[in-house]
Amino acid sequence: MHFPELPDRVAEVRQRIAAAVARGGHGQRVTLIAVTKTFGVEAVQAAWDVGIHDVGENRVQEALPKIDAASVPVRWHLIGHLQRNKARAADSFELVHSMDSARLADALHARGLARGRAIDVLLQVNVVGEASKAGWAPESVPAEAERLTGLAGVRVRGVMAMAPLDASEAVLRTTFHGARAARTVLEAAGHPAAELSMGMSSDYEIAVEEGATMVRLGTVLFGSRAATAAGHAHD
Ligand SMILES: *Cc1c(COP(=O)(O)O)cnc(C)c1O
């Protein structure tokens, strides 16, 4: 599959990100992560060809063969749920955005110790308490931030958050602001937690205004995902 519109789309997205940084006033650098889920390895190549060096996948089973097949040295990001008994799969990724429970944190910690190098993770925070989403409630972040200081097998690099589908602008801002506050808590506990992974195709400009340092974009780059793949499109 070809992505003839990708260069123009990336150029526009980069402009919009720059404008949102200026409006938001946080002065941050923003990493654009191309989400290639449901697309083949050609999407990875196409992203690389337009200067994108970070690629996101939400399912380990889909990602691992793609990582093997890719012939360009992108950084791979795991952005979807990881089962505790698959913690070893974290070895294939630069950053696990989706550390969404204390038990997964323990499993990743154990894996990091076993391999002799800490695993870089983001704490997934469920800011507005959606029942359908995993992650820490904001009020539980301080205690977990303290607990994680004792887990040498993981290195907490920041926070990941997702806004509810079809959220109003007010709810988007509440979500992203809450994620930023959680990052402050992690940093105060001593974690090197500079990253804020938030913003998808429908809400990345607001996320960047609110301080996002990583945006995870699929649809706006590659077009809508095939209907047959919709079953896990929002995993
Ligand atoms: C699919 C997915 C994205 C990208 O979604 P788009 O709306 O297509 O940009 C971002 N983050 C996560 C966690 C995803 O699963």
> Does ligand 1 come within 6 angstroms of the Cβ of 224?
no
Does the model's pTM come out above 0.85? Answer: yes
Residue 235 confidence (pLDDT) above 50: no
Cβ–Cβ under 8 Å, residues 134 and 100: yes
Amino acid at 166: D
Rounded distance from Cα 200 to ligand 1 centre (Å): 6
How high is the pLDDT of residue 140? 98
What pLDDT, in 10s, does the model give residues 77-112?
A: 999 999 999 999 999 999 999 999 999 999 999 999
Q: For the chain, which domains are there?
A: 6-222 (3.20.20.10)
Rounded distance from Cα 25 to ligand 1 centre (Å): 25
How high is the pLDDT of residue 1? 61
How high is the pLDDT of residue 68? 98
Residue 120 confidence (pLDDT) above 60: yes
End-to-end CA, the chain: 24
Return d(Cα 8, Cα 12) in angstroms, integer: 6
What pLDDT, in 10s, does the model give residues 125-171?
A: 999 999 999 999 999 999 999 999 999 999 999 999 999 999 999 99
Give the DSSP per-residue string, 109-137.
Answer: HHHHHHHTSPEEEEEEB-TT--TT--SB-
How high is the pLDDT of residue 233? 43
How high is the pLDDT of residue 208? 98
Residue 76 confidence (pLDDT) above 80: yes
Residue 12 confidence (pLDDT) above 80: yes
Give the residue whose CA is nearest to atom 13 of ligand 1: 79
In the three-class reduction of DSSP (H, G, I as helix; E, B as strand; rest coil), residue 150 is classed as: coil
Rounded distance from Cα 229 to ligand 1 centre (Å): 13
> Does ligand 1 come within 6 angstroms of the Cβ of 37?
yes
Confidence label for 228 from pLDDT (cuts 50, 70 and 90)? very low
* Adjacent-strand bridge partners of 99: 123
Pairing of strands 214-217, 31-35: parallel
> Does ligand 1 come within 6 angstroms of the Cβ of 201?
yes
Residue 175 confidence (pLDDT) above 50: yes
What pLDDT, in 10s, does the model give residues 25-71?
A: 999 999 999 999 999 999 999 999 999 999 999 999 999 999 999 99
